[in-house]
């Protein structure tokens, strides 16, 4: 007589020790660098001035409120209300509370990415954990170091994208509006409902437009005096006598301080570093001037933006023509890379937006992961400036400064390759014919 065999219980996925080591190291470093958090002082100081009835966008009154770094608030007045509860605590206590919230935000981001975009258990993937904690020039650690309000922006943005995947149009619109409340740039993802699905989701797009318009309208309606102060601060770096539109462009797009690549690794600042290097080499060899003309770096940057947008839209159009299931998360993650390549100001903590797509594409296209690694290693400079009679040595130094941006660019190319790839079923059929 035969007895039915008792089914074997499903084996639990084992968490490698390396994953615990990476996670523990990242957490310890995050707490260690969280001692600084100089950007938190901007919100804390601005809220203090607001409670005192002073201009929160002015630096002068901050001399009487020594709370860490003397940095003024630079975002719309509605977002400053987020920091009012922290002013009930001394600065030393408030900064620790903010660090705790930042760590919770990092954990929430990892959960959103693993659950809705990566579709795997993060603890069982040490490589993904390594990129999360230390990848892209330690983007997440930079976020914890600065204490920038960008963590709030990132969490709200990724919650909005997850809501869009789940079919919740209103939640997408509301969360996206809140994410764009401070830095405006997340409004770029308003195009996600139109391009990230097989059929455009106009209802989600409409909710996004309505929520964005409603939230931004609250600033001049509820806080007219502070709104005027914000506008004066925003256009303060522009040339006098220009039109209002030119002032906004100059102050917020073209006239950022010329930081080094370590401080701003955007495509705009890449060209600001690369063009003078090439021009200087040309001047040495030809005896001429060889320097880039006025606004040459901005023009090259804008032309590059147009090219990246056009190539991305072309591949998206081709992807829609494939006789295979349309994957919204693939397009959404590609949009994150396009965003990182287009923004004119990309601080080290701003690269958090690229962590999820980089992890996704390296696991999706594991056959190309080794090529990407070799490419990244090849771009690390090994030459001194005097070793080669070419601008390569100078450009190698720039490439090292902008290696995170180059990594984002390589990941973008891999996403384009994935959109061009033949679906597995069709590839199998073509091999058997």
Domain count, the chain: 1
Pick from 36, 43, 116: which is nearest to 79 by CA?
43
Report yes or no on 203 lying in a domain.
Answer: no
Q: Mean per-residue pLDDT for 123-145?
A: 85
Report yes or no on 279 lying in a domain.
Answer: yes
Say if residues 34 and 144 touch (Cβ distance below 8 Å): yes
Report yes or no on 391 lying in a domain.
Answer: yes
pLDDT given for residue 61 in this prediction: 72
Report yes or no on 16 lying in a domain.
Answer: no
pLDDT given for residue 64 in this prediction: 64
Q: Mean per-residue pLDDT for 23-29?
A: 80
Asked if residue 389 has pLDDT above 50, the reply is: no
Report yes or no on 400 lying in a domain.
Answer: yes
Give the least confident one: 240-244, 346-350, 355-359, 395-399: 240-244
pLDDT given for residue 414 in this prediction: 87
Residues in CB range of 50: below 8 A, 6 or more apart? 56, 80, 84, 226
What's the pTM value of the predicted model, to 2 decimals?
A: 0.82
Q: Which residue has the tokens 């040459």?
A: 296
Distance between CA atoms of 108 and 131, rounded to whole angstroms?
16
On average, the pLDDT of the chain sits at: 77
Q: Which residues of 240-272 are buried (b: 16+ CB within 10 A; e: fewer)?
A: eeeeeeebebebbebebeeeebeebbbbbbbbb
C-alpha Rg value of the chain to the nearest Å: 24
Say if residues 351 and 340 touch (Cβ distance below 8 Å): yes
Report yes or no on 75 lying in a domain.
Answer: no
Tokens of 326: 């349309």
pLDDT given for residue 277 in this prediction: 60
Q: What residues make up the domain containing 346?
A: 243-421
Report yes or no on 14 lying in a domain.
Answer: no
3-state SS, residue 271: helix
pLDDT tens digits along 191-248: 999 999 988 999 999 999 999 999 889 988 888 888 888 877 766 544 444 555 445 4
Three-class HEC string of 239-264: CCCCCHHHHHHHHHHHCCCCCCCCCC
DSSP per-residue codes, 152-212: HHHHHHHHHHHHHHTT-HHHHHHHHHHHHHHHSGGGGGGGHHHHSSSS--HHHHHHHHHHH
Asked if residue 138 has pLDDT above 60, the reply is: yes
* % of the chain surpassing 90 pLDDT: 25
Distance between CA atoms of 266 and 9, rounded to whole angstroms?
51
Report yes or no on 269 lying in a domain.
Answer: yes
Q: Among positive and negative, which fits the CA dihedral 208, 213, 218, 223? A: positive
Asked if residue 289 has pLDDT above 80, the reply is: no
């Amino acid at each position: 007589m035969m007895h039915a065999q008792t089914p074997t219980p499903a084996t639990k996925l084992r968490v490698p020790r390396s994953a615990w080591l990476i996670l523990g190291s990242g957490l310890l470093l995050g707490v260690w660098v969280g001692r600084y958090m100089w950007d938190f002082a901007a919100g804390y100081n601005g809220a203090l001035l607001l409670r005192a009835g002073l201009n929160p966008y002015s630096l002068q009154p901050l001399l009487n409120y020594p709370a860490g770094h003397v940095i003024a608030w630079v975002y719309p007045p509605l977002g400053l209300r987020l920091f009012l509860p922290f002013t009930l605590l001394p600065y030393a206590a408030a900064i620790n509370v903010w660090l705790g919230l930042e760590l919770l935000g990092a954990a929430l981001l990892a959960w959103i990415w693993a659950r809705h975009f990566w579709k795997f258990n993060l603890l069982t993937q040490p490589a993904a954990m390594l990129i999360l904690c230390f990848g892209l020039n330690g983007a997440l650690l930079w976020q914890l170091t600065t204490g920038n309000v960008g963590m709030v922006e990132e969490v709200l943005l990724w919650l909005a994208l997850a809501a869009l995947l789940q079919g919740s149009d209103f939640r997408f619109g509301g969360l996206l509006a809140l994410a764009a409340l401070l830095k405006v740039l997340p409004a770029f993802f308003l195009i996600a409902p139109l391009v990230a699905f097989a059929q455009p989701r106009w209802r989600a797009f409409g909710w996004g437009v309505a929520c964005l318009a409603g939230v931004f309208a609250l600033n001049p309606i509820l806080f007219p005096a502070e709104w005027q102060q914000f506008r004066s601060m925003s256009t303060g770096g522009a040339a006098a006598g220009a039109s209002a539109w030119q002032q906004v462009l100059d102050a917020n797009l073209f006239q950022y301080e010329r930081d080094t690549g370590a401080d701003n690794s955007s495509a705009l600042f890449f060209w600001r570093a690369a063009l003078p290097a090439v021009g200087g080499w040309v001047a040495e060899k030809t005896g001429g001037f060889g320097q880039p003309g006025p606004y040459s770096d901005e023009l090259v940057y804008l032309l590059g933006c147009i090219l990246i947008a056009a190539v991305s839209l072309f591949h998206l159009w081709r992807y829609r023509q494939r006789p295979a299931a349309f994957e919204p998360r693939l397009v959404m993650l590609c949009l994150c890379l396009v965003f990182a390549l287009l923004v004119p100001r990309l601080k080290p903590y701003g690269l958090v937006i690229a962590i999820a797509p980089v992890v996704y594409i390296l696991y999706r296209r594991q056959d190309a992961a080794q090529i990407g690694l070799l490419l990244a290693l090849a771009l690390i400079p090994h030459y001194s400036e005097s070793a080669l009679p070419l601008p390569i040595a100078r450009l190698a130094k720039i490439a090292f400064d902008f290696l995170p941006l180059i990594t984002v660019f390589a990941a973008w190319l891999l996403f384009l390759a994935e959109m061009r790839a033949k679906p597995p079923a069709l590839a199998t059929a073509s091999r058997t014919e």
